[in-house]
Structure 1
Amino acid sequence: MIDLIQVVAASDPGSAGIAETFGIHTSHIVMQLISFTILAAVLWKFAFKPVFKTMEEREEKIDSGLKYAEEMKIKLAEAEAEKKKILQEASAEAKAIVTEARQTAEARIDKSAQDAIKAAEDITKKAELQIENDRKQMLAEARSEIARLVVSTSAKVLSKELTAEEKARYSESASSTLV
């Protein structure tokens, strides 16, 4: 660019006078261009480059943070799904345990009822047997008492003492009549 200004200034002698009339000095412009270039290079190296580098690092951190947040969102959704699945399994298992407990309780109640019925039947049978035995015993006692009374009455009616053979015959006769 400096060369272009010098070429223009050299080709047109009148134009150099106009530039100087307005206070434009080619040497000042060249010095300002050199100063600006040095300043731009220093700013680029020590200011803009580190700022851009910091901005890129922050952008990478933000991107990694967003990726991490997205991963965590996915993991949270998976954990929620797993939790829901575990709760459903636990609920199903609890229902199965309750059902099994009910069935066991019903089976025990049925068994207890059957045992109670069987015990009642056994008690009833024992009572019937006892009643039958008592009845037979009472009949046997009644027969022997009646036979004794018949023999005693017959002895009094006949006014004599009966022999053992006659007592046995009367007892047998009285017993056979009662049956």
Structure 2
Amino acid sequence: MLDLFVLGAAAGKLPVNLGDIIFQLVVFIILLALLRKFAFGPIMNIMKQREEHIANEIDSAEQNHQEAKKLAEEQRELLKKSRTEAAELIENARKLGEEQKEGIIQAARDEANRLKEAAKQEIVQEKEQAVAALREQVASLSVLVASKVIEKELSLEDQEKLINEYIQEVGEGR
């Protein structure tokens, strides 16, 4: 059949009906008009809306990206500031600890010196009391020795013997 058509076209004898061609052309134009009015218009409107929606989404995404970058930078700055403040707090705490340590050490030294001085004063007092007590004993012994010497007249040997006895008595009394 294709051979007939090719042979007929080559011979110049095509069975072409002009009415059919015009009818098909009119139907095609009407179909194009209907498609333009009912199909292409709404499709184009949908495509425009879709394009605007995508453009809005892209703009929104760019704005969100810029805001995210801004927030990230703010967070970095806050983190940097927090680290600086933390370092300052640690340094202040360390200095305060050192000051307190020095204060405690100085207070302990002062207390030790005070106790040492109090002990020295107590030793001096006790020494003075001991010396006073010893003087009283020596005085009483002297009076005792003198009274005994007065009671009897002693020879030199008796005096030495008496003194040695009293010294022994004093030694045993301690």
Shorter-chain TM-score tier: 0.7 to 0.9
Q: Which segment drifts farther, 67-76 or 30-39?
A: 30-39
The alpha carbon displacement at 1:67 in A equals 1.3
Q: How does 1:93-112 map to 2 (within 5 A)?
A: 93-112=85-104
> Is 1:65 aligned with 2:57?
yes
Q: Identify the residue that residue 36 of structure 1 maps to in structure 2.
A: 28
Query: How far apart, CA to CA, are the structure 1 residues paired with 2:36 and 2:131?
Result: 137
The alpha carbon displacement at 1:155 in A equals 1.3
Q: Identify the residue that residue 130 of structure 1 maps to in structure 2.
A: 122
> Is 1:77 aligned with 2:69?
yes
Match of 1:156 among 101, 125, 148: 148
String of CA shifts for 1:22-55, please: whole Å, max 9, x gaps. Answer: 3334433332222221111001111111111111
Given residue 123 of structure 1, which amino acid in structure 2 is its aligned partner?
L
Q: Which segment drifts farther, 77-86 or 130-139?
A: 77-86
String of CA shifts for 1:94-138, please: whole Å, max 9, x gaps. Answer: 111111111111111111111110000110111011111111111
> Is 1:56 aligned with 2:81?
no
Higher relative contact order structure (alpha carbons within 8 Å, sequence separation ≥ 6) = 1
Query: How far apart, CA to CA, are the structure 2 residues paired with 1:157 and 1:88?
Result: 101
The alpha carbon displacement at 1:158 in A equals 2.1
Query: How far apart, CA to CA, are the structure 1 residues paired with 2:134 and 2:20?
Result: 163
RMSD: 1.9
Tell me the SS of whatever aligns to 1:80: helix
Q: Identify the residue that residue 175 of structure 1 maps to in structure 2.
A: none
Query: How far apart, CA to CA, are the structure 2 residues paired with 1:121 and 1:90?
Result: 46
How many residue pairs get matched?
142
Given residue 35 of structure 1, which amino acid in structure 2 is its aligned partner?
V
| Unmatched segments (≥5 aa) in structure 1 | 1-18, 161-179
The alpha carbon displacement at 1:77 in A equals 1.3
Q: Which segment drifts farther, 110-119 or 21-30?
A: 21-30
Segments of 4+ in structure 1 off by > 4 A?
none
TM (norm. structure 1) is: 0.73
Query: How far apart, CA to CA, are the structure 2 residues paired with 1:42 and 1:23?
Result: 31
Tell me the SS of whatever aligns to 2:90: helix
Given residue 94 of structure 2, which amino acid in structure 1 is its aligned partner?
R
Given residue 71 of structure 1, which amino acid in structure 2 is its aligned partner?
Q
